[in-house]
Amino acid sequence: MRRVSTDMPNTDMQYYLRRQEEGLANIQSKIAGQNRLYELRDDPLAASHAVRYESYLARLNRFEQNNLYAQDHFNHIDGYLQQANSVLHRIREISVQGATGTYAREDLRNMAVEINELLKELVSVSNALGPDGKYLFAGDKAFTEPFRIVEGSVAGGDSNFDQVPLILRVDYLGAGSSRRAEVSDGTYSVLDLGGGEAFWAEKMQIFSSMDASAYRAEAAGAFFVDGVEITVNPGDTLPAIVAKINDSPAPVKAYIDPESRGLVLEGTSAHLIKLEDRRSAGENQIPQNNAESHVLQDLGILGANTESGAPNWNSSARVSGGSAFDMVIRLRDGLLRGDYDFVGSQGILGIDLAMTNLQSRLTEIGSREERVEMTWSRINEEIPNVSKALSREAGLNLSEAATDLSMMEFAHRAALQTAAKVIPPTLLDFLR
């Protein structure tokens, strides 16, 4: 005798209804997400391709943002360098007037006071802040004011000017340009232009008066020249150190002074040479960044207690090569003295050197900006192509999805109507 149970048709009907509801939920989720790959089993090969495309597209979007930031950053730097160039141009105009010899001593002193005010404006431009609140010319010390004015009284040949507070010097407290932005895969653009590069005039020369002909490194160590690490091995002599500096990418050449037999460092371009010592972690070990060294100190270049970013030159070392601010101060002092010859020769020459370096830095920034603009254009052409490939692999055909959804809804309603007619009979209906 076959057993009759009302649970059997009810269970079967619920099972198939659940399957239909699952299919409805699946296609509704695909339509909502505009993605045909709701689950990995929908299309494993397409899913693997889509993951790669999505990852690459996210990187391209990041690169696009980096390029836009770099363009804005370079635009701000270019604008302030143009302002600095205008200030120097005005200073040169005044110096040409002062060098003619047709002005009285009092007029020259008035010109000197005007140049002092223009020097303050030049320092203000060099301490410019970007829209993100970071100093544009401080290098990687983005929150440190790069230039600091030291004022005092300068003798002007007249008691009326002896007590006038004028700028004595301008110290650079920033660092080198080390911040970079990745503008494409494995390609970086240097963002910063350090104040020691933009606002310099002469090639620096550092002469050590210490006889280092018998120098020999006792332990492994290292030092930095313009941010480039120079390793020193035990037993290295001065010629070996000179060769390592010259073989490095640092914009500095080294040689041995034939008279003092000491180390000489000379910049290959007008910039502030940044030097820093390190010490090895132990003998015959690779130098570590958190250790100290005194190679340059032993060679008579740096003094004790050297601070990064502000070299404490050895008292016996001779350092030459001034900044744009030094050139302006030198010109101003010549006007205060009433020295027409000095103003017309060395004074104007120093301003010309500062303007020449500034023009070269403007060209450098313009080149960087043009490069990131071209990179940005290339990335913007590549993004639609990758998006198209991603859409081909994971995109949803809305017309087909809508048709499938309508068919599944119709089938689901038909199943519910059928279930409503089949399920109601119970065991009591068979016992009549």
Mean pLDDT score across all residues of the chain = 83
Tell me the sheet residues that pair with 323.
200
Output the pTM of the full model.
Answer: 0.76
Half-sphere exposure of 336 (CA within 13 A, CB side): 24
In a domain, 387, yes or no: no
Q: What is the pLDDT of residue 141?
A: 82
pLDDT (mean) for 67-89: 94
Distance in angstroms (rounded) separating the CA atoms of residues 415 and 15? 12
Residue 397, pLDDT > 90, answer no
Q: How confident is the model at residue 268 (pLDDT cuts 50, 70, 90)?
A: very high
Residue 288, pLDDT > 60, answer no
Distance in angstroms (rounded) separating the CA atoms of residues 374 and 369? 9
Q: What is the pLDDT of residue 283?
A: 42
Instruction: Name which of 104-113, 278-287, 296-305, 361-370 the model is least confident about.
Output: 278-287
In a domain, 39, yes or no: no
Q: Are 38 and 26 in contact (CB under 8 A)?
A: yes
Instruction: Name which of 58-72, 200-214, 285-299, 336-350 the model is least confident about.
Output: 285-299
- CATH number of the domain where residue 173 is located: 1.20.1330.10
> 361 or 413: which carries more pLDDT confidence?
361
Last residue of one domain, picked from the residues 295, 319, 343 = 319
In a domain, 69, yes or no: yes
Residue 219, pLDDT > 90, answer no
Q: Tell me, yes or no, whether 179 and 139 share the same domain.
A: yes
Nearest Cα to Cα of residue 382 among 186, 181, 184: 184
Q: Tell me, yes or no, whether 161 and 255 share the same domain.
A: no
The structure tokens listed for 414 are 């038909």
Q: What is the pLDDT of residue 234?
A: 92
**Residue 410: left (phi > 0), alpha (psi -120 to 50), or beta?**
alpha
Q: Are 348 and 342 in contact (CB under 8 A)?
A: no
Amino acid at 324: A
Q: Tell me, yes or no, whether 74 and 186 share the same domain.
A: yes
Q: Give backbone dihedrals phi and psi of 270, rounded to 5 degrees, phi first.
A: -75, 105
Distance in angstroms (rounded) separating the CA atoms of residues 380 and 68? 11
Q: How confident is the model at residue 91 (pLDDT cuts 50, 70, 90)?
A: very high
Q: Tell me, yes or no, whether 225 and 358 share the same domain.
A: no
In a domain, 356, yes or no: yes
Count other Cβ atoms within 10 Å, centred on residue 140.
Answer: 17
Residue 432, pLDDT > 60, answer no
Q: Tell me, yes or no, whether 213 and 167 share the same domain.
A: no
Q: Tell me, yes or no, whether 289 and 371 share the same domain.
A: no
Q: Tell me, yes or no, whether 92 and 174 share the same domain.
A: yes
Domain that holds residue 219: 205-319
pLDDT (mean) for 330-358: 93
Q: Tell me, yes or no, whether 349 and 243 share the same domain.
A: no
> 383 or 393: which carries more pLDDT confidence?
383
Q: Are 95 and 114 in contact (CB under 8 A)?
A: no
Nearest Cα to Cα of residue 73 among 164, 192, 167, 250: 192
Report the domain count for the chain.
3
> 394 or 133: which carries more pLDDT confidence?
133
In a domain, 215, yes or no: yes
Q: Tell me, yes or no, whether 258 and 405 share the same domain.
A: no
Distance in angstroms (rounded) separating the CA atoms of residues 384 and 389? 9
Nearest Cα to Cα of residue 108 among 331, 347, 328, 335: 335
Q: Tell me, yes or no, whether 85 and 193 share the same domain.
A: yes
Half-sphere exposure of 267 (CA within 13 A, CB side): 20
Q: Tell me, yes or no, whether 127 and 265 share the same domain.
A: no
Distance in angstroms (rounded) separating the CA atoms of residues 29 and 401? 11
Q: Tell me, yes or no, whether 73 and 185 share the same domain.
A: yes
